[in-house]
Amino acid sequence: MNSLAEPRKWEKIFWPLLVSALLLAAWHYCVIWTGTKIFPSPLEVERGMAELIRENVLWRDIADSLRRVAIGFGAASVLGIPLGLVLGWYPEADHVINPVMQILRPISPIAWIPVAIIFFGVGDDAAIFLIFLGAFFPIVVACIDGVSNVPSVYRRAGRNFGLSPQQLLTKVVFPAALPQIIVGLRIALGIAWLVVVAAEMIAVDSGLGYLVIDSRNSGKRYDLVVAAMLLIGVIGLALDLCFRRSEKIKSVRWGFRNEA
């Protein structure tokens, strides 16, 4: 059994590295084959990224983007989770508010950029507001669905043990809905990272999104543009992996708690 398990762990590292190497090789030879002078090769992107690091620009932009996502996503979680739990717990309230949510939810956060600039001006507040909008609705919907999908037998069992409605919601329904809520938070975090890049292209003068548009406008530095794009993808992957890891840790701890 051990001999079968070890290659699987090794393959988890080998195959992604192999695919990445093949993509880099294909990128390099496509640039040579087309003879383009505009789109950069991997080596040019590497030199551009080294230039950004030497000029101490890259780390500040990364920090600004992460800070905006943390504030916007955090605010959406603090407000969205309680609201979603309440709406899922009280279907009558959900029937009243749901039409308004269904009207606002499909509107892309990018479409809110002119409104955000009118309300907050050009700066961090506008970008954070857009991130908040992008993350808020997925969190609320995930919480509503999570509470609504909890089997009714759980609620009846809690009432039989004499739990109050508040205790039933916090000690029975919320833990049962937690896996679906975590999935909603993960989706919302991905949306928040997408929105911050778009918002930084218009509403602020720092961050990875601003780096993309500024590199394009100032001298058509497409090596820096592609470098920033790759960083956006790598950081997005890192955020998703961190969230998955924390999700597994929470699931394991919750399993031990239930067994106890």
- pLDDT tens per residue across span 203-233: 788 899 999 998 888 778 899 999 999 999 9
The residue segments making up the domain with residue 138 are: 55-259
Is 26 within a domain?
no
Whether 36 is covered by a domain: the verdict is no
- 49 domain residue, yes or no: no
What is the tens place of the pLDDT at every residue in 16-69? 888 889 999 999 999 999 888 888 999 999 998 898 888 888 889 999 999 999
Question: Does the residue 143 lie in any domain?
Answer: yes
Structural domain contains residue 1: no
How many separate domains does the chain show? Answer: 1
Which helix H or strand E contains 64, and what residues bound it?
helix 58-89
Residue 131 is assigned to a structural domain of this protein: yes
Residues 83/143, Cβ–Cβ less than 8 Å: yes
Q: How far apart are CA 155 and CA 242, in angstroms?
A: 33
CATH at 163: 1.10.3720.10
Does 218 map to a domain?
yes
Is 73 inside a domain boundary? Answer: yes
- pLDDT class of 250 with cuts at 50, 70, 90: low
Give dist(CA 91, CA 132) in Å, integer. Answer: 25
Rounded distance, CA 227 to CA 151, Å? 48
Asked if 171 contacts 163 with a C-beta cutoff of 8 angstroms, the reply is yes
- For residue 70, give the 3-state DSSP assignment: helix
Per-residue confidence (pLDDT) for residue 17, from 0 to 100 = 84
